[in-house]
Amino acid sequence: MVEMAIPDTPRSSTHGEEIRTARTRRYLMCRPEHFAVTYEINPWMDASRPVDTGLAIAQWEHLRRTHLDLGHTVDLLDPLPGLPDMVFAANGALVIDGHALGVRFRHAERAPEAGPYAAWLRAQGIEVTDAVAVNEGEGDFLVVGDLLLAGTGFRSDRAAHAEAQELFGVPVVSLSLVDPRFYHLDTALAVLDDRTVAWWPPAFSPGSRGALRRLFPDGIEATEADALAFGLNAVSDGRHVVVAAAAHDLISALSARGFVPVPVDLSELLRGGGGAKCCTLELRPEAVGS
């Protein structure tokens, strides 16, 4: 594994007259000690191919260290045997203003993950509301500015969008996913700052594409190669973007727009259908838009 150095640059950068400013975040992650592909619930999974768990752990550890080197806090949830996808922490909840909407997984194989994530959050003093409709946390809920983008089509139910709006009091924009390779919203769209996203339009229905172009006319439209490299499964602090190293065009586009790409290689975890964002759940103590 080739480790990329964090760029030694100021905390702010500019794109035209825009200032890209990093904001310190708090994340929850789960070490992939038990990572394996023992079932197939998305097109990326092939249970017939052995997984190199040691490589997955090394790549994940580099991601954790990258978050820490960027100044963020990383909390850890203990992994449990028999739950190989616990590493994909983003699916564990949606946390806003110190409150959390718990999850209800679509597939039975992942259902037991919901309890450990909810228990950890409650132990931190975070109030957790149990989900009624199927939702898979930040896999299908992405906060951008004072909006909540919500995906549906393969995993989360549209009814979960209404649940989130009622719980958090945040306007929710429902988006329909149409390509099974991009089964969660966070595989097809990355939030870069409070006004900017990067996305791959063919992953969305025509109406959802139109809505996104109206909401984010200055958004970065990724290439198919970027999307297939899971480049859009990225983590941004408003300035630094932790992004798949293989997403070459996206990395160039981010740099051209004043962001600072921080490439990471999570190729072994991609075999389970996950990348940097999938492994990173943001714990937001503040209200959306604050």
Given the residues 67, 72, 161, 278, select the one marked as catalytic: 278
Contact yes or no for 283/75 (Cβ under 8 A): yes
Which superfamily, per CATH, for 22-282? Answer: L-arginine/glycine Amidinotransferase; Chain A (3.75.10.10)
- Tell how strand 26-29 and strand 281-282 pair up: antiparallel
Can you tell me whether residue 113 is helix, strand or coil? helix
Which pLDDT does position 286 carry in this prediction? 74
Summarize the chain as % helix, strand, coil (round to 5). Answer: 30, 25, 45
Predicted local distance difference test score (pLDDT) of residue 109:
98
- Could you count the other beta carbons within 10 Å of the beta carbon of residue 206? 10
Is 72 one of the catalytic residues?
no
What string of DSSP letters covers 121-189? HHHTT-EEEPPSS-B-GGGTEEEETTEEEEEESSSS-HHHHHHHHHHH---EEEEEB--TTS-SGGGTE
- pLDDT at residue 222 in the model: 98
Q: Which of 161, 184, 240, 279 is catalytic?
A: 184
d(CA 51, CA 53): 6
pLDDT for 148: 98
- By CB atoms closer than 10 A (0-12, 13-18, 19+), residue 91 is buried
Instruction: Answer yes or no: are the C-beta atoms of 155 and 187 closer than 8 Å.
Output: no
Catalytic (active site) residue 278: yes
Q: pLDDT tens, position by position, for the chain (290 residues)? A: 333 344 444 444 555 547 899 999 999 999 999 999 999 999 999 999 999 999 999 999 999 999 999 999 999 999 999 999 999 999 999 999 999 999 999 999 999 999 999 999 999 999 999 999 999 999 999 999 999 999 999 999 999 999 999 999 999 999 999 999 999 999 999 999 999 999 999 999 999 999 999 999 999 999 999 999 999 999 999 999 999 999 999 999 999 999 999 999 999 999 999 999 999 999 998 766 65
Residue 260 dihedral angles phi and psi, to the nearest 5°: -115, 100
Per-residue confidence (pLDDT) for residue 10, from 0 to 100 = 40
Position 285 scores a pLDDT of 83
Boundaries of every domain in the chain: 22-282
